[in-house]
Amino acid sequence: MPYSPNLRIELIDTGTQAGTWGTTTNTNLGTLIEDAIAGYTSVSVTSANQAFTAVDGAADQSRNMSIALTTTTGANFAVYAPPAEKVYVIRNASSYTATIYNSTVIGNTTAAGLGVAIPAGKTQSVWSDGTNFRLQNDYVAGDVVGNVTGNLNGNLTAAAPTAPTQPTLTNDTSIATTAFVQAVVSTARGALYPVGSIYINATDNTNPNSLLGFGTWVAFGAGRVPVGFNAANPLFDAAEKTGGSADAITVSHTHTFSATTSTAGAHAHTGSLTQSTKSGTGPTPVVSSTESFGGNYNYTTNSAGDHNHTVSGTTSSTGSSGTNANYQPFITVYMWKRTA
């Protein structure tokens, strides 16, 4: 008796199976074709290469639409379907990769052509042209919207879901769109660093535009310490006024001294002068003197009566240099001013 080439359904010859054709037809329609369209079976693979069962006119594994694969091999494996045109949904329920091929002859484990590898735990729809197996879908036209879990082979254009953009100050459970977030961030940036703000960083001299992503910034206040605005002080009564000096300044002034002493009674004064030549005149009046060439000239004045002594002069210098001595305690940082 003849059978169809792809599903192996028994074909009733004209004028045959009188009284039994109904049973054959019921088997064809209610079992075999139904299995091919909606049937499901589970196949336990016990070897590295295993063929699906294929029986003419009776139920078998290879005729089912959906097949779940398990294995006891402990390794990747291959299964073989009859060399017939058919679509399968294969669920690889094992922990190893399963590859499906067409046999060259029904029941053998020789690959007729290309196969499709199905990863562990994944499900694939595949179709056969009788020689080669291929993925049923390897191209997606148009947009895919929503969440996609797993692997998609082929061309995929993903479109993100959209939603209305709420006003910037919205405070409820509405979805925050990217436009809303950008508006909020822009508002926050303006509030935190409006034009004229000073940005300070202790270690990084990168332009704040690169760090914050907005604004035009210029380096600010090199070598200067900020001082608070004070309308009552003409030095500090306007923004960005400068002044002061790095060097210590002493207000111009003089130091003088004088002293007068009175000495009672007649007395003389002795002293010593240094001369560089032999000739010279000593104090007058001199009572006695000795001199050595190029050395000291010693003298004694005549005795005088009561008289005063007045002494004047300039004090000697003391202290240290005022260069770079006018700074308050400081720490160096990088400062930038936002100009736009």
Mind listing the pLDDT tens digit for each residue in 59-111? 999 999 999 999 999 999 999 999 999 999 999 999 999 999 999 999 999 99
The pLDDT of residue 144 is above 70: no
What average pLDDT does the segment 181-210 reach? 88
Q: Is the pLDDT of residue 156 over 70?
A: no
Least confident of 93-102, 156-165, 174-183: 156-165
Higher pLDDT, 104 or 245: 104
Higher pLDDT, 64 or 293: 64
pLDDT at residue 36 is higher than 80? yes
Count of Cβ atoms closer than 10 Å to residue 2 Cβ: 10
On whether the CB atoms of residues 298 and 337 are closer than 8 A, the answer is no
Q: What percent of the chain has pLDDT over 70?
A: 81
Least confident of 26-30, 180-184, 214-218: 180-184
Q: Distance (Å, rounded) from C-alpha 297 to C-alpha 43? A: 135
Domain spans of the chain, in order of start: 21-135, 173-239, 269-302
- Averaged pLDDT of the chain: 84
Percent of the chain residues topping a pLDDT of 90:
48
Position 278 pLDDT exceeds 50: no
Beta strands in 123-251 (DSSP E): 123-129, 133-135, 143-145, 157-159, 198-201, 217-219
| pLDDT of amino acid 295 | 59
**H or E segment and range at residue 176:** none
pLDDT band, residue 280 (cuts 50/70/90): very low
Both tokens assigned to 291: 């001199």
What does the alpha-carbon distance between residue 160 and residue 145 come to, in Å, rounded to a whole number?
6
**What type of residue sits at position 189?**
R
- pLDDT score recorded for residue 206: 96
Flag whether pLDDT at 263 surpasses 90. Answer: no
Cβ within 8 Å of residue 18, ≥6 positions away: none
**Is it the case that residue 38 has pLDDT exceeding 90?**
yes
Higher pLDDT, 30 or 106: 106
CA proximity to 4, closest of 40, 38, 33: 33
Q: What is the DSSP string of 234-284?
A: TTSSSTT-----SS---------EEEEEEE-S-B--EEEEE-SSS-----S
3-state DSSP assignment of residue 192: helix
pLDDT score at 329: 82
Distance (Å, whole) CA 100 – CA 96: 13
